[in-house]
Structure 1
Amino acid sequence: MRPSVPSRLAPYALAALLLAAGWANLARGAAHPGVPYRPWAFAHQSYSDLLAMGGDRYFNGGRPLPYLEDRIEYPVLLGLALWLPSFAPGGPLGYFTAGYLALAACGLLAVWLLRRLPGSDPWWLAATPALVVYAGLNWDLLPIALTVGALVALSRGRSGLAGALCALGVAAKLYPVALVPGAAALLWRRPRDLARFGGALGAVLLAVNLPVALAAPESWSWFFRFNGQRGAENSIWEALPFALSPAALNRITAVPLLLAAAAAALAAWRAGSRGDASGAAALRLGTGLVLVTWITVNKVWSPQYALYALLAGALAAAPRWMMGALSAMALLDYWTAFAYRARGMDPAFRDLAVHPGEWLRTALHLAFALWLARALWRAARAPAPELS
């Protein structure tokens, strides 16, 4: 029986309501542009990188070209997402609203795409209150929508389109590369589709990055150099009683991430031998496992990374109570992160609230990663079809 119109529209209506609440909270900061913005935003639990970074660059009448005139610590598409709203009229509020509307559209598009991805649960993304605080904190809803779009394209046999969408996601943030190990393994037995996927992935990455890399190599490579030299920030590594160098952290965190990627590839390769449905399920679970492992062990934690855990839950159609737990942690994490900054990085608040929160968040995400790994293991172990 086909769902009624209200039930079909319900996830979009709820997501739109949460997104509107997020805009109403964050838009208040447009009245405090420039240097005063950050302390005001921290004190009022209303921080957005859109207003902070836009105010650093555009609110005094300038419009420096990304990378050519302005070094940006993000990949190329996010540099464009930061710059394009500067053409919107209306000053800081117009700039923020233009950028936020684009991100809200990405969020609603991701929900729409999840409804077209068999085996997923769009309510994980549509109903989480984390949308209120994280939709406009950074630009992550853009790569999230592109990731889901790539998975939908793969589920429909459009491997070239999937590779192109994945490349655009990687050109916005690196996280969409999480689907590549599983996708490559799933397509391994179909060399033509694998070539289409890989060819489109490489061609789009080159088309987006190469012109900027040639025109401004130092600015383009700043994203990689900046992140390579960062130490532990807001992550479980910061809560340890001893410090590790950035180089050591890079090596240590690479190990579980590579193991998760190998597990995703192996499961997709094995499940793919049993047909499209089994392979697609393993791909969704493997992508979710890589995403959750990545954000859990990463040396740097930004609060909006919670959206990637929620995306993983949507892809895996994990139990809704897990969504509730992760959403509650995401809200607590948001409050802690900015209350800490509002208190001037007070050591007492760090020891009593921030570090315990980092341990709690990591434990919760590790438990979720283990759930995903177990589901992936079950998908990979399902018996192969008997030969006739």
Structure 2
Amino acid sequence: MEEARAQPDTPVVYESPAPPAADLQSVDDRDKPSRTDTLTAQLCDPIGGPVGDHAVIGRVRFWTPMRVLLAFAVLFLAFGWFGKAGCIQQRPDASGVMGLDWNNGRQYLAMCYSDTVPLYGAEHLNEGAFPYKKQWVEFSDGKPQVRYMEYPVVSGLYQYISMGIAKAWKVSPLPGSSALEVVIYFNVVAIGLSLAWLVTIWATALSAGRRIWDAALVALSPLVVVHAFTNFDLLATAFAAGGLLAWRRRQPVLAGILLGLGGAAKLYPLLLLGPILILCLRAERRGEDDPSWAGLRPLRAAGAAIASAAIAWLAVNAPIAALYPNGWWEFFRLNSERHADPDSIYNVITSFTGWTGFDGVLTAQEAPTWLNTVSLLLFLAACTGIGWIGLTAARRPRLAQLAFLVVAAFLLTNKVWSPQYSIWLVPLAVLALPHRRILLAWMTIDALVWVPRMYYYLGPDHKGLPEQWFTGTVVLRDLAVIALCVLVIRQIYRPGEDVVRRDGADDPGGGVLDRVPDPHDPWLPSWLWPRQPEPVP
């Protein structure tokens, strides 16, 4: 170096301490959260700070982004299992018979309640009978009523298969076989749901494209810790995320099949077909095929997805409906007769005002006809507004944006918002609005609603909380979801603020719609044409 200082015109040669790799390719287009997101940058300080300007991206052999995301998911699923473990602890009763320790409202005090545990006996799965064939009598208001399995077919069959595995495990010499059968059943269900959640994260990460690290918000969501094993909803999230990934890969038939199967587990995956149809309606040209068009026509793709979803749904439901029509219809009957859920906006209004509802005071077996009608009309009105936005916005919205709005509208207007339903929104929100601070704030608020809910169920007589403490937090949750919807709509009308569309991206999850320009001659009536942006002065 002394010689270099003496002769400044002499170039200084820097040698690599090891021979460079033969392949120096780098995934430079991948989003780097440690450099583009202030929250992630701060979290990276303990491990060396943000990635360097000249770092080679995408060359790690083992800890790839996908494996890191799945590792995060396994960790948070473990937290979720431990959160429910208090409800599968065993203790002997006064006669020495071993049973679950649910004495004195333990399931609420420990906030470990899960539908899986009581349903094992309530749905008579412990008897080993086929769910939709088995019937029993319950008394409500002193009146007998014949009951069957209350879940859609895929969810019901999943419970049946899990029951069979639990019974086989119980009589085997395998570790843990000495536990109560319901405890084994819960663990079998939890393992299957965990695999479904890993599929959800895998599909969401691939759907995010260059922003794969956005899926970390799914893996690290507080809602996973609280609700991963509250019910069986992770089955539906796996099918929904898989359907969106198949659509992204321009496989509309596979997308429809997965969404149809998801609709046979829970209803909401079928709702995603609406945004697909709206965006394809907008992209379709008038008249004959344009010779410049490359790839599958949008309406044909949407038609293929909708038709395959219907076929898949029928293929699963038709055999059960034909063999056990009463058992198959039980899910639909209960949903029509079910009153306003504690988490619904209708119950919130009743809680604070004393309003008796649209139908007045009803008995347990009377269907809330007016409530059903109003909630359906409100949802249809919301869908009409979302469709208008999708068709008339100056730039075509991204599929994830409309999908999030539709599912959020369904939850906000529906008479039932079971607490675990919030997990439906997590993958869609991450794809629609990948702002980490905002999403983590909403998820935390939504997860914390579980605390007053459990203590409200405990009851004031057992040192629980009054109903208004619980419904007040529900209002905060609803306002947070509405705020997310407002932000999504804002970014639809101001696409320059959409972080996904920076660097020239269009719609990474759009499939046949990605980078397709809006037609100059749409086939829709002129009042549904996209509104042209105002000229810049």
CA–CA distance in 2 between the matches of 1:185 and 1:199?
Answer: 16
1:39: how far off?
3.2
Q: Given the alignment of the two structures, is residue 141 of structure 1 paired with residue 234 of structure 2, yes or no?
A: yes
Judge conservation of contact 1:267–1:379 (CA < 8 Å) in 2.
Answer: no
Map 1:319-358 onto structure 2 (within 5 A).
319-343=435-459, 349-358=465-474
Q: CA deviation at 1:269?
A: 5.3
* Aligned mates of 2:252, 2:399 — CA distance in 1: 13
CA distance in 2, matches of 1:258, 1:198: 19
Counterparts of 1:301-316 in structure 2 under 5 Å?
Answer: 301-316=417-432
Structure 1 letter corresponding to 2:189? G
**Corresponding residue number in structure 1 for 2:71:** 13
Q: Shift of the alpha carbon at 1:347?
A: 11
- Higher mean alpha-carbon deviation, 150-159 vs 229-238, is at 229-238
> Equivalent residue of 2:266, what SS?
coil
Distance 2:431 2:462 in 1: 39
Q: Are the equivalent residues in 2 in contact too, given 1:159–1:197 (CA < 8 A)?
A: yes
- How far apart are the structure 2 equivalents of 1:384 and 1:59? 53
Q: In 2 relative to 1, CA 59–26 (structure 1 residues): closer, same or farther, beyond 3 Å?
A: farther
Alignment of 1:133-282 (within 5 A): 133-188=226-281, 189=284, 190=297, 191-234=299-342, 235-240=344-349, 241=353, 242-244=355-357, 245=359, 246-266=368-388, 268=390, 282=398
Change beyond 3 A, Cα 1:236–1:346:
farther
Distance in 1 separating the partners of 2:207 and 2:149: 34
Cα deviation per residue 1:281-340 (whole Å; 9 max; x = unaligned)?
A: 521111100111111222122111221232331121331122222222122211111111
The 1:262/1:59 distance shift into structure 2, 3 A limit, reads: closer
Question: In structure 2, do the counterparts of structure 1 residues 364 and 326 end up closer, same or farther at CA, with 3 Å as the change threshold?
Answer: same
Partners of 2:89 and 2:100 within 8 A in 1: no
Does residue 106 of structure 1 match 2:199? no
Which has the larger displacement, 185-194 or 196-205?
185-194
Measured in 2, the distance between the counterparts of 1:367 and 1:52 equals 35
The letter for the 2-side match of 1:39 is G
Q: Distance in 1 between matches of 2:461 and 2:198?
A: 36
The residue identity in structure 2 corresponding to 1:296 is L
Distance 1:270 1:200, change over 3 A: farther
Please tell me the residue identity of whatever aligns with 2:82: A
Q: Per the alignment, do residues 145 and 59 of structure 1 end up closer, same or farther by CA in structure 2, a change over 3 Å counting?
A: closer
Conservation of the 8 A alpha-carbon contact between 1:38 and 1:47: no
Distance 1:140 1:37, change over 3 A: farther
Instruction: Decide which of 81, 86, 95 is 2:163's aligned counterpart.
Output: 86
Q: Which residue of 1 is the match for residue 294 of structure 2? A: none
- 2:112 is equivalent to residue 53 of structure 1: no
CA-to-aligned-CA distance 1:59-106 (integer Å, 9 cap, x gap): 75x112111115122211111122211122132222111110111111
Of 186, 192, 197, the match for 1:96: 186
Paired residue for 1:40?
Answer: 106
Q: Give distance in 1, aligned partners of 2:469 and 2:438.
A: 23
1:115 is paired with a residue whose SS is: helix
- Give aligned-pair identity as a percent: 27
Query: 2:365 is matched with which residue?
Result: none
**Cα distance, 1:36 vs. partner?**
4.2
Q: Structure 1 pair 340/24, CA: closer, same or farther in 2 (3 Å)?
A: same
Q: CA deviation at 1:44?
A: 1.3
1:185 Cα deviation after fit: 2.8
Instruction: Using the TM superposition, give the Cα deviation of residue 385 of structure 1 relative to its aligned residue in structure 2, in angstroms.
Output: 5.9
CA drift of 1:265 comes to: 4.0
The number of aligned residues is 379
Q: 3-state SS of the aligned residue for 2:449? A: helix
Larger RCO of the pair (alpha carbons < 8 Å, separation 6+): 1
Q: Which amino acid in 2 is paired with 1:225?
A: R
The Cα of 1:28 is off from its aligned counterpart by: 3.3
5+ long unaligned stretches in structure 2: 1-26, 28-56, 91-98, 136-147, 170-176, 285-296, 360-367, 497-505, 507-515, 521-537
Give secondary structure in 1 for the equivalent of 2:63. Answer: helix
Instruction: Please tell me whether the aligned partners of residues 66 and 83 of structure 1 are also in contact (alpha carbons under 8 angstroms).
Output: yes
SS at match of 1:45: coil
Q: Say if 1:57 and 1:64, in contact at 8 Å, map to a contact too.
A: no
Deviations along 1:15-68, one digit per CA (max 9) or x if unpaired, are 1111011112313322355794793312211011111211334575x1121111
Task: Determine if contact 1:168/1:204 at 8 Å carries over to the other structure.
Answer: yes
**Which whole-Å CA distance do the structure 1 matches of 2:463 and 2:347 have between them?**
13
The TM-score normalised by the length of structure 1 is 0.88
**1:368-383 correspondence runs (5 A):** 368-378=484-494
Letter in 2 for 1:6: W
> For residue 130 of structure 2, what is the amino acid of its counterpart?
L
Find the structure with the greater CA-based Rg.
Answer: 2
- Aligned amino acid, residue 472 of structure 2: P
The residue identity in structure 2 corresponding to 1:200 is S
What letter matches 1:67 in structure 2?
Answer: Y
- 1:24 and 2:140 matched: no
Q: Does 343-352 or 321-330 show the bigger shift?
A: 343-352
Question: Does the 8 Å CA contact 1:68/1:216 hold for their aligned counterparts?
Answer: yes
1:112-137 Cα deviation digits (max 9, x unpaired): 11111136731221111221110000
Change (3 A) 1:38 1:11: farther
